[in-house]
Structure formats: structure tokens, C-alpha cells
Chain A
Amino acid sequence: MPDSHIAIEELVELMSTRAGIRTDAATAAASTFEDLGVDSLGVMGIVAELERRVGRKLGAEAEAAPSPSALVTVVNEGGPAAERV
């Protein structure tokens, strides 16, 4: 059973491997994806990887998340868009 929660540190790692953007947890928590230089395709790649890790679809809401913190919230609080794979 995959862990259905993520922490901001995981996003820091994924931003590096999936989008080529290096940052730290504090900066990530206080910035938007745009500030960090992560573009829409980068976010899509991160969300696709998160979906595999948490074992469920995160939907359009996750891809539209403007910041790492917002994305963490979408993943951890589920929400109507989240459905079982």
C-alpha cells in the first residue's frame, strides 16, 4: 500500500529530477512554481510521478496547483478530483 501523503522535501527532489530545478525545502515552501522556474510541463511530470507514488489519480487540480505548497495540500487532502487508480 503506497503512502498517500507527501512532504515538501519530496517535491524538492522531484523538481530536481523531473524539471531540472534545484532548490531547498524552505524556498520551495515559500515560492510559486513560476518563481522557481518550473514550467507547466515540469509540473505535469512531477504530478505523474506523484500519482505513481501515492497510487491514485490527482487530476487537473494538482496540475493547476500554483506552488509546491499548494500541490502538497492537493495531494494530502485528497479532494473531489482524487480518485482511486
Chain B
Amino acid sequence: MAMVITGLGTVSPAGVGTEDYWTALCEGRTLIAPIPDFDTSGFHVRLGGKVPGFDPNAHLEGRYVVQTDAFTWFAMTAADEALRDSGAAADGDPYATGVLICSCAGGVEFGQREIAALWASGPGYVGPYQSIAWFYAASTGQVSIRNGLKGMCGVLVTDEPGMLDALGQSERALRRGTSAMLVGGSEAPIGSPFSLACQEGAGLLSGDDDPRSAYVPFTERAHGYVPAEGAAVAVVEEEAAARARGARVRAVVAGQASTFGGVGAFDPGGAGLLHAARQAMERAGVGPEDVDVVFADAVGVPKADADEAAVLRQLFPRGVAVTAPKTGFGRAYAGAGALDVAAAVLSLEHQLVPPTPHVDDALLGLDLVVRVPRAARLRTALVLSRGLGGTNSAVVLTLPEHS
């Protein structure tokens, strides 16, 4: 069975919409800036990748705005674009389409407001929406409700790789009778001081105040990552069905695999990431010579960068173009893997590898695309992702046949 992407939607630090996202990636734009929402002077990290000027009322009905957290606003908004883009009929069989939108932090900002009300004023001050806004399943639930989608509905919490794992899980669903899946990852982890405090404990965030040097993976100056918010959602369906309804096939999801590398570190040694990549390539039926570009995980933590670089050297002894466009805007947890998948699809479509902003002296023997986008014949992209909880995931995307 071939699974294809027929719709794409993004909300990113470049703004709402996939076109603006792609333009910013190609320009290598700096989208990292001081976190604007609160006084960060007591925090180790003070920079973030914020979705600029996002007004939920411009995209969503008022009732959804009040009852959900920003991570769900982003998911609903990206889902709208993906559905529009896919051209799927809105009045089809509701059971034909499922939803699987991942998050790893949930609605923390909403949650902080409600816990504050509880502790400052008392139990009667917690509002009725707390029960549905904070939990990790809020985005899948609301996207299902808002769009009338009753197919297989799920939520995976595997940190950054969420979307990659969701693509794998979607294949399980398509094999079992669901026709299409709306899959993605969405996160809004920098709007709340509490959320930021939770992230800081892991000791992986960059303490730099210069957006141009704060998140520079694969370099000698690497010292952590900058957190970001954002979402990407894709519509996936079985290729024959997509073609039969005349859908534009944007990319083929040719293979996916996940492994585990240990809690609390990014796959020490890299064996897990290597295995995931090899399995995904095997499932896709591609060898190292077929892969034209790799979207790297690029945590920005020296040990993790070195491990990933070693994996890439081992996988591609003759070299491969590597990029990490997220260095321009930060790492959006479950949104990170999703935005990388979106970037890979766009890259295949435009036959252009976007650069890795702020990094121009990559060591570690990588052919990192820097400064300017690189035009190349691109048929196959590999996306890699790791999470602090231990999941490593890889997805192979290929250009559809007609292109």
C-alpha cells in the first residue's frame, strides 16, 4: 500500500500558512526573538520562536477560542489549511477520515491559568473548559469535532517525533479501513512561564540572548536549543484512492520506523536513530544512494549533534545534503517533527533544499546546506527526529511519479 500526502497546513514562527513558511525557510530568515509574553529575566532561556501576531479569532469560531489552548488553535488552523489543500469533499462519509494530532506538552498556558485560579481563589474558580483544554488529546478531539471527522482518532506522545510516528500509525489505520487521516503535531510551549520552567529542568535550552547564535547545532558553539511554537498537519490517504478522486499528490510517505534510545538523553551513541533510519529506508525500498536530502534532528546539544552526525556519516559514506531549517525558528517539540515533514515535502516540490540558518561552519564532516538554498534534483528525502523521552523516528518521503 502506498500512502501519500495530499494536503499540508502549517502555523509557524513564519506565520500562518505554508507559503509563508516556505518563503521564510528559503530566505533562511531569523525568526527567533525574545519571548514577548512575560518577563523572562529569571529564566535561563529568554529567546523563542513565536508565531507572530496570531489572532485566534481571525481563524476560529469564538467558542473554540475560549475553550481551547493555543496548541489547539494552531492545530485547528493548520488542519483547515491541510483540508482545503487536499480538496477532500467536506460532505463525504464522516467515518472515512480520522485525526491523529500529537502534542508533548498539552495546553500548559491554559492549565497554568486554571491551576492559579484554584490555588489563589479555590476549587469553585476552575472553569469548565479546564477538563478539555489542557490534556494532550484536546487537539485531535477538537479537530475531529470541528470538521465532523469520525474515522480512527488517536494521539501519540513521543515528543518531537510525534508526527513521524503518526504517519506510521496512519498506515495502520489505512490498512484497516480508514480512507484518510489528518495527521500532525502541534505545540505552544512558550506562552506560559510555567511551561518554560518545566522545560528548563532538562538543562538543554540555550541561554544565549543573540537570536543568531543561540541555536547553532553541529558547530563548536552549540549550546542547546531555542524552544518554539507551531504546528503542521498533513492529509494522508491511500495513493490509488487519492489519484482516483483527482487529488494532487504532494509526496509519497514511502517508509517510516521508530526505535527507542533511552529516557532523558537523545539516543546516546546514535544506534537507535541509525536503526530507525535504516528500517525506514528498507521499508521505502531505497538505498543510501537514493536519498537526496536529510532533514536532521539537530538538537544543538554537542553530544547529540555528534551522535547524529556519526549516524549520517555511517548511513551515507559518500555524503548527502543535510539541512536543519529549524535553526531559524527553534524547536517546537511535537511541532518540530511535523514542521520538518512539511519542509521536506515543500523541498521535494520545489527541488530546493532550504538552508540551515545561523550555521555556516559545520564541523563533523557533514554536507550541511548553509546560507542559501541549494537547487538539486530531489527525489527522496529522509526526515530524522529524536525526543528526550527516548523515541527516535525516521520517515522517507519521495516525489510522486507524475512529477
The reply to whether A and B meet directly (CB within 8 Å) is yes
B62 touches A20 (CB 8 A): yes
A22 touches B62 (CB 8 A): yes
Cβ-based interface call for A82 (8 A): no
Inside 8 A of A39's CB, which chain B residues have their CB?
63
Cβ-based interface call for A42 (8 A): yes
B63 touches A42 (CB 8 A): yes
Among B62, B127, B128, the residue within 8 A (CB) of A16 is: B62
Cβ-based interface call for A56 (8 A): no
A21 touches B127 (CB 8 A): no
Shortest CB–CB separation between residue A16 and chain B, in angstroms? 7
User: Which of B66, B124, B132 has the largest number of chain A CB atoms within 10 A?
Assistant: B66
A21 touches B128 (CB 8 A): no
User: Which of A16, A17, A48 has the largest number of chain B CB atoms within 10 A?
Assistant: A48
User: Which of B65, B66, B127, B128 has the largest number of chain A CB atoms within 10 A?
Assistant: B128
Chain B interfacial residues counted at CB < 8 A: 12
Cβ-based interface call for A37 (8 A): yes
Inside 8 A of A18's CB, which chain B residues have their CB?
66, 127
Cβ-based interface call for B129 (8 A): yes
Among B61, B62, B67, B124, the residue within 8 A (CB) of A41 is: B67
Q: How far is the CA of A72 from the CA of B364 in the complex (A)?
A: 70
Cβ-based interface call for A25 (8 A): no
Chain A 30-69, CB-CB to B under 8 Å as 1, else 0, gives 0000000111011011001001100000000000000000
Q: How far is the CA of A45 from the CA of B130 in the complex (A)?
A: 11
A41 touches B132 (CB 8 A): yes
Residue of B nearest to A42 (CB): B63
Q: How far is the CA of A18 from the CA of B67 in the complex (A)?
A: 9
Q: How far is the CA of A11 from the CA of B340 in the complex (A)?
A: 45
B63 touches A48 (CB 8 A): no
Inside 8 A of B124's CB, which chain A residues have their CB?
48, 51-52
Shortest CB–CB separation between residue B104 and chain A, in angstroms? 26
Cβ-based interface call for A19 (8 A): yes
Shortest CB–CB separation between residue A31 and chain B, in angstroms? 15
Interface size, A (range): 10 to 19
Shortest CB–CB separation between residue B294 and chain A, in angstroms? 43
Within 8 A of A (CB), among B81-129: 124, 127-129
A21 with B62: in contact, given A41-B67, A48-B124 (CB under 8 Å)? Answer: yes
Cβ-based interface call for B64 (8 A): yes
Shortest CB–CB separation between residue B250 and chain A, in angstroms? 34
Inside 8 A of A16's CB, which chain B residues have their CB?
62
Shortest CB–CB separation between residue A37 and chain B, in angstroms? 6
Q: How far is the CA of A58 from the CA of B294 in the complex (A)?
A: 61
Shortest CB–CB separation between residue A39 and chain B, in angstroms? 7
Shortest CB–CB separation between residue A50 and chain B, in angstroms? 12
Q: How far is the CA of A27 from the CA of B102 in the complex (A)?
A: 39
A20 touches B63 (CB 8 A): yes
Inside 8 A of A48's CB, which chain B residues have their CB?
124, 127-128
Q: How far is the CA of A45 from the CA of B67 in the complex (A)?
A: 11
Residue of A nearest to B60 (CB): A20
User: Which of A20, A21, A37, A38 has the largest number of chain B CB atoms within 10 A?
Assistant: A20
Shortest CB–CB separation between residue B312 and chain A, in angstroms? 47
Shortest CB–CB separation between residue B67 and chain A, in angstroms? 7
Within 8 A of A (CB), among B127-145: 127-129, 132
Q: How far is the CA of A39 from the CA of B66 in the complex (A)?
A: 12
Q: How far is the CA of A69 from the CA of B231 in the complex (A)?
A: 41
Which A-B residue pairs are the 7 nearest by beta carbons?
A20-B62, A20-B66, A20-B63, A41-B128, A44-B128, A45-B128, A20-B65
Contacts A19-B66, A41-B132 supplied; 17 other A-B pairs, CB < 8 Å: A19-B62, A19-B63, A20-B61, A20-B62, A20-B63, A20-B64, A22-B62, A37-B61, A37-B63, A39-B63, A41-B67, A42-B67, A44-B128, A45-B127, A45-B128, A45-B129, A48-B127
